[in-house]
Amino acid sequence: MNTWFECKVKYEKIDEQSGKQKKVNLPYLIDAVSYTEAESRIHAEMEQYVSGEFSVPSIKKANYTDLFFYDDGDKWYKCKVMFVTIDEDAGKEKKVANQMLVLASDLKEAYERINESMSGMTVDFDIVAIIESNIADVFPYFKDEVNEPIPANLKPLSDFEQERRTQETAEDGVVDADDVLE
């Protein structure tokens, strides 16, 4: 499960209509495991897009359960989706609200896309609200980012597992077939 952080970034950019520099304070969504990583990642991402100075005045956890990316969308829409579940102890229906983001061109397309994305669900759901969000961009983890080389001061988990198996084998006096083959 992803942990999303909303980072407000303050910088100057050229206004597309007037051609003049203007100060903006825009929210960006970034996937990270902690506030520290979110700040580090947003700085790395923004250095690629902003030519001057910028600051990150606030970072807060965003409560999105899912994001739906589409190549042809240009705006992020915040969708409130209610799931109907059964509380087995009380024997009553319970509604659970989830916030989701979908990339679309307009409100109608956002509704269609969230409905399409949720169509495989086995529980009943209702899309109760869709509003255009002010999120400027979203930076998820990409597979090549996650598979970065392990720093020299850290050991891969597989090394610990191998050591544990070797130690257990020595204690038991039994040889594991996997250990013999390695």
Domains 1-62 and 63-141 share a fold: yes
Mean pLDDT by 10 residues, the chain (182 residues): 93 90 96 96 94 95 94 95 86 90 97 93 91 96 58 72 78 58 52
Per-residue pLDDT, 11 = 96
Question: What number does CATH give the domain 63-141?
Answer: 3.10.20
The pLDDT of residue 86 is 82
Q: Print the SS3 string covering the chain.
A: CCCEEEEEEEEEEECCCCCCEEEEEEEEEEECCCHHHHHHHHHHHHHHHCCCCEEEEEEEEECCCEEECCCCCCEEEEEEEEEEEEECCCCEEEEEEEEEEEEECCHHHHHHHHHHHHCCCCCCEEEEEEEECCCCEEECCCHHHHCCCCCCCCCCHHHHHHHHHHHHHHHHCCCCHHHHHC
Instruction: Quote the pTM value.
Output: 0.72
What is the domain partition of the chain in residue ranges?
1-62, 63-141
Q: What CATH number should be reported for the domain whose range is 1-62?
A: 3.10.20
User: Which pLDDT belongs to residue 162?
Assistant: 80
